[in-house]
């Protein structure tokens, strides 16, 4: 029968365990920004808060040769532009889709090299993987991306450092559509987005089912026309993150800094406020 550790063994275990716990906390601690209330209150830039009369429309997980062109066609029909957060390993497989995205006036940003979960600290690996994704985008589009959204919205200390080293600005979202589930419908996506979105917000949808339920992208695609029509009816413009007044762009919009603070407390007319 085992008994309690002798005092010397207990001290050795504590000496090893405490540093490991500190490393784990330092690694995963920044992921608290995944929580909307924390992000909205303390990190409005990370929440995607921009000009109060603008909505930044963003898509994750592409490019996809089947579904992404359908979104490009729908956005053309709506006269709207968006930011597409792409995965590097898909960029090298489907470069023509990325080039077409840019040709149609959309912005390409980085979602990482692959859609992995970052539970273990791999700071050097984070830097190399993100640099590889940035290089893939630059090779295909001819210009360097500005924005980074990590897979699952989980920002670890390693991913923060990798983004900084790559010259990217991390941004998550203000509202999403929960469009990755098998039960998602155009109506459910629209209701979910409208429950949280307000002027100055960044909306997250998905243009592929790569990491989600097969075919679920059709729900986001079907929701787009009414979402865009509703925003425009509320007097809001729809576009990319670089048109949104975040980061350096905000400094070029007269009065945007003070107006953005008001946007965080003023919901879109006809919509409920954020949870």
CA angle 170, 173, 176 (to 5 degrees): 150
How far is Cα 243 from Cα 194, in angstroms, rounded to an integer? Answer: 21
Active site residue ranges: 60, 206
How far is Cα 90 from Cα 113, in angstroms, rounded to an integer? Answer: 8
Burial 106-133 (b: 16+ CB within 10 A, else e): bbbbbbbbebeebeebbeeebbebbbbb
How far is Cα 136 from Cα 158, in angstroms, rounded to an integer? Answer: 20
102, 99, 125: which is closest to 112 by C-alpha? Answer: 125
The size of the chain, in residues, is: 275
The rounded Cα 149 to chain-centroid distance in angstroms is 4
How far is Cα 218 from Cα 64, in angstroms, rounded to an integer? Answer: 13
Give the CA distances from residue 37 to residues 41, 44, 99, 160, in Å, rounded to whole numbers and listed in that order: 6, 10, 36, 20
């Amino acid at each position: 029968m085992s008994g309690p550790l002798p005092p010397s063994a207990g001290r050795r275990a504590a000496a090893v365990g405490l540093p490991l716990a500190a490393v784990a906390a330092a690694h995963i601690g920044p992921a608290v920004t995944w929580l909307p209330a924390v992000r909205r209150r303390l990190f409005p830039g990370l929440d995607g808060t921009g000009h109060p009369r603008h909505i930044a429309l963003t898509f994750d997980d592409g490019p996809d040769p089947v579904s992404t062109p359908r979104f490009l066609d729908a956005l053309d029909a709506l006269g709207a532009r968006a930011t597409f957060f792409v995965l590097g390993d898909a960029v090298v497989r489907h470069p023509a889709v990325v080039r077409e995205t840019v040709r149609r006036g959309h912005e390409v940003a980085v979602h990482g090299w692959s859609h992995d979960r970052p539970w273990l600290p791999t700071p050097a690996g984070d830097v190399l993987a993100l640099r590889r994704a940035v290089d893939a985008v630059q090779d295909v589009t001819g210009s360097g991306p500005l924005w980074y959204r990590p897979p699952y919205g989980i920002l670890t200390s390693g991913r923060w450092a990798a983004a900084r080293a790559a010259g990217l600005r991390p941004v998550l979202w203000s509202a999403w559509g929960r469009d990755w589930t098998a039960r998602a419908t155009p109506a459910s996506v629209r209701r979910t987005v409208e429950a949280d979105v307000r002027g100055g917000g960044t909306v997250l949808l998905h243009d592929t089912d790569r990491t989600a339920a097969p075919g679920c992208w059709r729900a986001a695609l079907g929701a787009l026309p009414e979402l865009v029509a509703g925003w425009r009816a509320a007097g809001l413009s729809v576009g990319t993150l670089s048109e949104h007044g975040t980061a350096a762009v905000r400094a070029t919009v007269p009065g945007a800094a003070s107006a953005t603070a008001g946007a965080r407390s003023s919901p879109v007319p006809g919509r409920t406020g954020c949870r």
